[in-house]
Amino acid sequence: MWIADQWKDYEVIDTSNGEKLERWGKYILVRPDPQVIWNTERRLKEWSKPNGHYHRSSKGGGEWEFHQLPEEWDISYRDTTFHLKPFSFKHTGLFPEQAANWDWFSKLIREAGRPIRVLNLFAYTGGATVSAAKAGASVAHVDASKGMVAWAKENAASSGLSDAPIRYLVDDCTKFVERELRRGNKYDAIIMDPPSYGRGPKGEIWKIEESVFPFIQLTSQLLSDQPLFFLINSYTTGLQPAVLSYMLHTVLDPIHKGKVEADEVGLPVSSNHLVLPCGASGRWTAINN
């Protein structure tokens, strides 16, 4: 498992009965987590006095309950800074487990010894974008949500990257990739964090089990003659690490020489030193790039 264990401003304190107890900077949140199927005694006092608690409804969705929690605040990871804003469906605007991937590809970019062009698809609030830009890459940041792209710009500015070579694009990812292919544009590295389910601008349905493999095939055509890496993340339980590995092997082996790894990503739990699983990632790295 790839564990994001280098955080100072974030911590999973405890887990129990479908929820996780977290520290985001100096604030304590309780949020639901479908992986937490165990029911253990809640001995820590933080469980009873969080600054924010997302209560899931039996009818779907849910709502936040706040206690002395600001509307937004910042936390840092290494030399990057991120804005947090609790919003609908339990999220805060950041997936801390992805720091394990940020560290991995940042090292590749820094050690490449050449300019690296990164395409970040389904790029959300830009954790990967900011990390890649900090490592020295130029980045195309693509997300269909105007609000998420604006949030990514805030994160870049907070991290001292206002003038970094980042293109922010509010666009459907598939349509953008198709246009880039027609333009003849190429990228040295691709990051994608596709949703489990979604709808395109004309009502097209995206179901990850049906759509992701054709999308990897399509997007792989944007790789340059000297590709560096390809990263895909999944929060869908049906897409196990071996499935991500199989897809990357199938698409990339015939055209590029590289190494594929896939594993769960996770966060350490400070109260018991166990690791909370948080999805899976597949990584392809070029050999002799």
* Structure confidence at residue 59 (pLDDT): 78
- Distance separating alpha carbons of residues 116 and 126, to the nearest angstrom: 17
Residues 61, 43 contacting (CB under 8 angstroms): no
- Distance separating alpha carbons of residues 42 and 13, to the nearest angstrom: 11
Q: Which residues contact 142 (CB under 8 A, 6 or more apart)?
A: 119, 120, 121, 122, 123, 169, 171, 173, 176
Convert the pLDDT of each residue in 206-231 to its tens digit: 677 788 999 999 999 999 999 999 99
CA distance readout (Å), 36 to 14, 20, 32, 56, 131 = 10, 8, 8, 14, 29
Please say if the pLDDT value at position 202 is more than 90. Answer: no
Please say if the pLDDT value at position 289 is more than 60. Answer: no
- E-strand ranges in 25-135 read 27-32, 52-56, 62-66, 73-77, 80-84, 117-121
* Tokens at 255, concatenated: 């055209």
* Tokens at 210, concatenated: 């049906």
- Distance separating alpha carbons of residues 115 and 95, to the nearest angstrom: 27
Extents of the domains making up the chain: 2-71, 96-286
* Structure confidence at residue 201 (pLDDT): 59
Tell me the pLDDT of the chain averaged across its residues: 94
**Percent over 70 (pLDDT), the chain:** 96
Convert the pLDDT of each residue in 224-275 to its tens digit: 999 999 999 998 666 899 999 999 999 999 999 999 999 999 999 999 999 9
- Tell me how far the alpha carbon of residue 289 is from its chain's centroid: 25
Residues 152, 143 contacting (CB under 8 angstroms): yes
Query: What would the CATH number be for the domain defined by 96-286?
Result: 3.40.50.150
Neighbours of 52 (CB within 10 A): 20
Using DSSP's 3-state secondary structure scheme, residue 148 falls into helix
Convert the pLDDT of each residue in 143-163 to its tens digit: 999 999 999 999 999 999 999
Superfamily of domain 2-71: Golgi alpha-mannosidase II (2.60.40.1180)
Domains 2-71 and 96-286 share a fold: no
